[in-house]
Amino acid sequence: MRVSQNMQFYSTINNLYSSQSQYNDLMEKLATMKRVNRASDDPIAASKIVDIRQSMAAIEQYGRNMDNANAWLSATETRLSSAHDLLVSAQEIAVGQATATATAETRRIASHTIQSIIDEMSNLANAKFGDRYLFAGSRNDTAPFSKTFMSAKIEAAQAVTGNTFQGTVLSSGAYTGTLNKSFVVKITNGGSLAAATYQYSADGGRTWNGSDLSPAAGSVNLGDGVELTFDDMGGTKAFGVNDVFHVTAVAGGYYNGNSEDMSVAIDRGTNIVYNISGAKAFCASDGGIDIFATLGALKTALVGNDAQGVSGELDNLKKAQTQITLNQSLCGTKANHIEMVKNNSAEFNIKLTSMLSDAQDADLAELATQLAMKETALQASYAMAAKIGNTTILNFLK
């Protein structure tokens, strides 16, 4: 086979370009100190690197979640500690004013101190973490506690933005529940009132009742005296599947929040509830003590110079302290759980970092050797290209 001058030239140029490309690739790896800079460098390793980075990103997000949850728990525990101190002070006052040596005047003066304690307790119960109320449950955009007793009420029904249904929905009834609740209605089959079906929740959507209940009569009974009434304008304003409506019912008392939990993911498949609702900490939830009612009753007894009434609140004040202490302990338990998960995550992250290094980091000593060899080859290619480039017709006339 005849090898022409052009063939020699193009072969040399191709070798030169190949050597230059390999040299540049080695220079890039040396600069980044990584042997895999793009998927084409090593597809299998690149896939592994992506998986490891995703796992590390998840751990980082879990870490942020744990930090936020820990900060929330710390703020909660601090407020509860202060609330406990106030209850101790109230008990000391009650003990002193329940004796026969106390007078109407001393009790009147003590009632002012109790009012100050009520005010301070209200400030603690309405404390915020950032722009959210600590003890409001999931209704943390609204101050959870009132200084005065609130009658039971059913708030206006709300349709979620984006619903297909454009008719009207109204709430009605007289709430008989003892806890504040968030009721939710979700449409499971669309159409007119006659054709649609729904399910409902009494805990903000965590659990559901029914799946094919019919609102044909226009009224939906949610329990505890709460009803929603729908009007689809004669079927012209039909429901859509997954349309959602909600209404909040507030029990009589001082609490305007709810008892719903707030949780966050701290590991794959592991969530933790990081809030203590005001219903648990300050109200008579689950057979507990209504702290504001107790302090209010103590003040009333002091103002009325009622020694027996003052004495009657001592047991409730002790139980209230225990209630606060139990919730403080719950904060500590949750914080310890978070710390344990955080330590495990840190150890796993160290292992992932090592795996990532093994998958993508370059061996600098080996890379330096390869670079020196490639540089020699590249210089030889340059020399050969220059020699061929200087060849003229005169070289063949010698």
Q: Is residue 320 part of a domain?
A: yes
Predicted pLDDT at 370: 66
Q: Is residue 200 part of a domain?
A: yes
Asked if the model's pLDDT at residue 142 lies above 70, the reply is yes
Count H helices, E strands: the chain? Answer: 8, 15
From 251, 280, 303, give the residue that closes a domain. Answer: 251
Mark whether 146 and 175 lie in a shared domain: no
Q: What region, left, alpha or beta, does residue 219 occupy, with left being phi > 0 and alpha being psi -120 to 50 degrees?
A: beta
Mark whether 199 and 73 lie in a shared domain: no
What's the CATH number where 91 sits?
1.20.1330.10
Predicted pLDDT at 382: 63
Asked if the model's pLDDT at residue 333 lies above 90, the reply is yes
Q: What are the C-alpha distances in Å from 354 to residues 48, 361, 380?
A: 13, 10, 39
Mark whether 267 and 322 lie in a shared domain: yes
Q: Is residue 247 part of a domain?
A: yes
Identity of the amino acid at 68: N
Q: Is residue 285 part of a domain?
A: yes
Q: Is residue 70 part of a domain?
A: yes
Q: Is residue 280 part of a domain?
A: yes
Q: Is residue 15 part of a domain?
A: no
Mark whether 228 and 300 lie in a shared domain: no
88-112 tens-digit pLDDT: 999 999 999 999 999 999 999 999 9
Rounded to two decimals, what is the model's pTM?
0.77
Q: Which of 132, 78, 66, 80 is nearest to 274 (CA)?
A: 66
| Domain coverage including residue 206 | 154-251
Mark whether 276 and 146 lie in a shared domain: yes
pLDDT average, residue stretch 221-243: 94
Q: Which of 225, 218, 130 is nearest to 167 (CA)?
A: 218
Q: Is residue 176 part of a domain?
A: yes
Mark whether 133 and 169 lie in a shared domain: no
Mark whether 119 and 142 lie in a shared domain: yes
Number of domains in the chain: 2
Q: What region, left, alpha or beta, does residue 21 occupy, with left being phi > 0 and alpha being psi -120 to 50 degrees?
A: alpha
Mark whether 273 and 124 lie in a shared domain: yes
Mark whether 186 and 330 lie in a shared domain: no
> Going by C-beta distance under 8 Å and a sequence separation of 6 or more, which residues neighbour residue 113?
89, 93
Mark whether 142 and 277 lie in a shared domain: yes
Mark whether 143 and 280 lie in a shared domain: yes
Cα gap 317→294, rounded to integer Å:
7
Q: Contact at 8 Å (CB) between 145 and 282?
A: yes
126-135 tens-digit pLDDT: 999 999 999 9
Predicted pLDDT at 33: 64
Predicted pLDDT at 17: 62
Mark whether 164 and 239 lie in a shared domain: yes
Label residue 256 exposed, middle or buried (CB < 10 Å: 0-12, 13-18, 19+): buried
